[in-house]
Amino acid sequence: MVQTIGELLAFAARRYGDKTALVVDGRSFGFGQLDGLANAFANGLLAAGVAPGDRVTLYGPNSWQWMVAYHGIAKTGAVINPVNVMLTPEEVEYIVKDSGARTIVASLDKAEPLMEMRARAGLEHVVIWGGRPPAGAAAFEEWLEKGARTFAVRPRGPKDAGAICYTSGTTGHPKGAVQSQRALVACAKGTALLQSRTAADVVVSPLPAPHVYGSGVYNAGMLVGATLVLLPRFTEEGVLEAIQTHRATLFDCVPTAYYYLLAHPKFGSYDLSSLQRCTVGGQTLPVAKSLEFTERTGVPVEELWGMTELCGPATGNPHWGENKPGTIGLPIPGNFCKIVDVDDPDKEMPQGERGELMFKGPLVMDGYAGNDKATRETIRPDGWMHTGDIATVDADGYYTIVDRKKDMILTAGFNVYPAELERVLCMHPSVALAAVCGVADQAKGELAKAYVMLKPGASASGKELVEHCRRHLAAYKVPRAVQFVANVPVTGSGKIMRRLLKDVDDGTRQVGEQTHTRPA
């Protein structure tokens, strides 16, 4: 039985042997081969003095080297600190210092700034993959060549730290969520259970490996012996080609991927008949887009939900159960959710009423590294954790995210949730993607503004979209301005960054102005 993340790949190698575990950058790796490489890297870390409990930062793009390093670090009993590849050297330096990492493993394109920060950050070892490293750094590939292909996984307990993953840091510095071995393994097992992942699955995904959504579904696949086709990044044709070529049965990604895929002019020309189900997480996917994808492919989109503080996916629509588009489904077995008053967490809200989603169970992080105050503010003494998400629950126990508490727009005393407007805007046949944020208004405090991408060849005016919203929403929720854009700012994991929408300046198209088509 797998009890720690360090045992995961060794378990998979024993059970699945030479079966293909990973396809990336034109190369394929069997479970046994991948395990041998991870063992070699673990031996290199051991020789460098890395011990159980030490922090090791992992900083690079989706690649086979990233996967080998992840499992090699885990085998030593060290705590994995995966870092978003889009972060700047300054941001990485903060995380290295805050986590207490003394070793960093990174891709060659990150090497130069890491060497510059080495002394300031207290780094003892910099290990570089993908080419000849600069002076003072070790070569990842040399460690693999010299290291023995066997390694005794260092024993760790379920309550020991397995990873420290940093939040996106939308305000101030990011916080490091300390994830236990038990939580990481429970996430993998629960995710595999909800989507019924098996060794018969071929999974195509461009999800960033450092993100908890990515690592959660990748670990789930490893556990059950699925084949992962890992894409370096998302592109519409890259995804469609991979699904067709590898006869994928499962596709994991974020809402923006579905927006772009559905809007792509060649979407219907690819053979997607091997797909059996898809998952979507990171943000809510409007029901209209979920249904459109299913209508065009015959494949259900099973929405899930999670957080960095919960190790990744924490709820989901079960594959062998009712799939309710627009909901985040049920908690992973052994975990619990409830809806409470946003101002009084001791008051549980009735069925169908909006409130803050609270979470409890083995997936909950141990706390924020070195930040007891933030930990106390997030996790209550009784173990219930504040998620910051506004949600409802229905009669079947399925939860629906209304919006992020911090994204709520306050208009003349009324609460307006961007996700609700985005859902309605995406119901319009010309809309490929919609993102909403609040803009300052002297009279009403804030007003909702919509940023809209139209489908190729489609047209719509701001007035038309506002009238569409007015037919489905209360008057105070209707956006007061519409701006047509070619794209919107997203995070490294593909989530829309609502806080940066105001920086998108293609010239605001006020309600009632001329028709605009999405640029090619």
Give the contacts of 174 (CB within 8 A, at least 6 positions apart).
91, 94, 95, 166, 167, 168
DSSP state of 401: E
Give the contacts of 238 (CB within 8 A, at least 6 positions apart).
206, 231
Alpha-carbon distance of 343 to 362, in angstroms, equals 26
173-188 confidence digits (pLDDT tens): 789 999 999 999 999 9
Residues of the chain with confidence (pLDDT) below 70: 168-172, 412-415, 443, 505-520
pTM, whole model, 2 decimals? 0.83
Give alpha helix (H) positions in 202-305.
Answer: 212-224, 236-246, 255-263, 287-297
Alpha-carbon distance of 100 to 121, in angstroms, equals 9
Alpha-carbon distance of 297 to 318, in angstroms, equals 19
Alpha-carbon distance of 139 to 427, in angstroms, equals 52
Give the contacts of 285 (CB within 8 A, at least 6 positions apart).
255, 258, 301, 303, 325, 326
pLDDT of residue 85: 87
Single-letter amino acid code for the residue at 473: L
- Two structure tokens written together for 165: 């993953």
- Two structure tokens written together for 379: 């996790």
pLDDT of residue 423: 87
What the chain holds in terms of domains, given with CATH numbers, is 408-517 (3.30.300.30)
pLDDT of residue 518: 33
Tell me the helices (H) and strands (E) count for the chain, helix number first. Answer: 14, 30
pLDDT of residue 3: 95
Q: Taken in order 215, 220, 386, 79, is the CA torsion positive or negative? A: negative
First-to-last C-alpha distance (Å) of the chain:
52
Grouping H, G, I as helix, E, B as strand and the rest as coil, residue 126 is strand
Instruction: Give the bridge partners for 438, in sequence order.
Output: 448
239-297 confidence digits (pLDDT tens): 999 999 999 999 999 888 999 999 999 999 999 999 999 999 988 888 999 999 999 99
DSSP state of 350: P
Give alpha helix (H) positions in 7-134.
Answer: 8-16, 31-47, 64-75, 89-99, 111-121
> Tokens 């086979």, residue?
64
Grouping H, G, I as helix, E, B as strand and the rest as coil, residue 473 is coil
Provide DSSP, 127-168: EEESSPPPTT-EEHHHHHHHS-S---PPP--TTSEEEEEE--
